[in-house]
Copies of this chain bind each other. A is one copy, B any other.
Amino acid sequence: MKLLIVVASNPYSHDFNTSVKLAKASLERNHSVSMFFMANGVYCLLREEIKELSERGVKVYYCAHNANQRKVKPDSWAESSSMYGLSKLVTESDRVLMFD
C-alpha cells in the first residue's frame, strides 16, 4: 500500500505523535510511506523524529510556500514541494491521512 500522511499540525501536538507512530507502523509492514508537511506542520521538519523517519525510508515533502512564510529552512532530506505536488502525491497514493 502507498500511504500518504499530510500533517498541518504543529510538532507539539497529538497529531504529531499519531502521524509519527502510524508512519513507523507502516514501514514495519513494508508499505511505502510519504509524508507531506504544510501550514504549521512545516515546524515538524525541525524535529529529529521526522529526520529519522526519512532515514528509514519515508519520503518527506513540504510546502515551500509555508516553510518560507514561517522562516523554516528544512534540511536536504526533505523535498521542497507545493500544493500541486501534494495533488500528484494524492494521485499516486492508495490512502490519504490528513492531520490538522
Chain B residue with Cβ nearest A11: B70
Task: Count residues of A near B (Cβ-Cβ below 8 Å).
Answer: 9
CA–CA, A11 and B10, complex, Å? 11
Identify whether the interface residues of A are mostly helix, strand, loop, or mixed.
Answer: loop
Chain B residue with Cβ nearest A66: B12
Contacts of A43 in B (CB 8 A): 10, 43, 70
Contacts of A97 in B (CB 8 A): none
- Judge whether A40 is part of the interface by a CB distance below 8 angstroms: yes
Contacts of A39 in B (CB 8 A): 12
Contacts of A11 in B (CB 8 A): 70
Report A's interface with B, CB cutoff 8 A. 10-12, 39-40, 43, 46, 70-71
